[in-house]
Amino acid sequence: MSVTIYHNDRSTTSLAVVEIVRAAGIEPVIIEYMKTPPSHEAMLALLLAMDMTPRALLRTRERAYLSLQLDDEGKTDRQIIDAMLAHPELIERPIVVTEMGVKVCRPKTKVLELL
């Protein structure tokens, strides 16, 4: 089984998900999205696979959320995605991709549904 994790090594949840996957005997492909954010097309594909809106994937407690006025309901999906790609700390994490599906694995045990 192939497992890809959009990972932030400063997130305890993200670190825990990596450990759960490794404990299952799988070495995941790690994408450090804070250093290398996904392309616009890749972000759209992830959102589609998760059946999520860009707004649902936003981390609302980050400083950039308010400074970019992302609390404004008038912001378009394109504007929200552009903000997330310019400020990847706004992307909820970790996102796990397997043959079983794609999920934001919060809480960390959600990853078990994909293994």
- What's the CA gap between 74 and 82, in Å, rounded? 15
12-58 tens-digit pLDDT: 999 999 999 999 999 999 999 999 999 999 999 999 999 999 999 99
Torsion-angle region of residue 13: left (phi > 0), alpha (psi -120 to 50) or beta? alpha
> Residue 85: pLDDT band by 50, 70, 90 thresholds?
very high
Bridge partners, residue 13, by sequence: none
pLDDT the model gives residue 21 = 99
pLDDT the model gives residue 93 = 97
The CATH code belonging to domain 1-33+93-115 is 3.40.30.10
Q: Kindly list the distances between the CA atom of residue 66 and the CA atoms of 12, 46, 57, 88, in Å, as whole numbers in the listed order.
A: 24, 24, 15, 14
pTM for the model: 0.94
Segments making up each domain of the chain, as ranges: 1-33+93-115
Collect contacts of 63-66 with beta carbons under 8 A, ≥24 apart.
Answer: 64/89, 64/90, 65/90
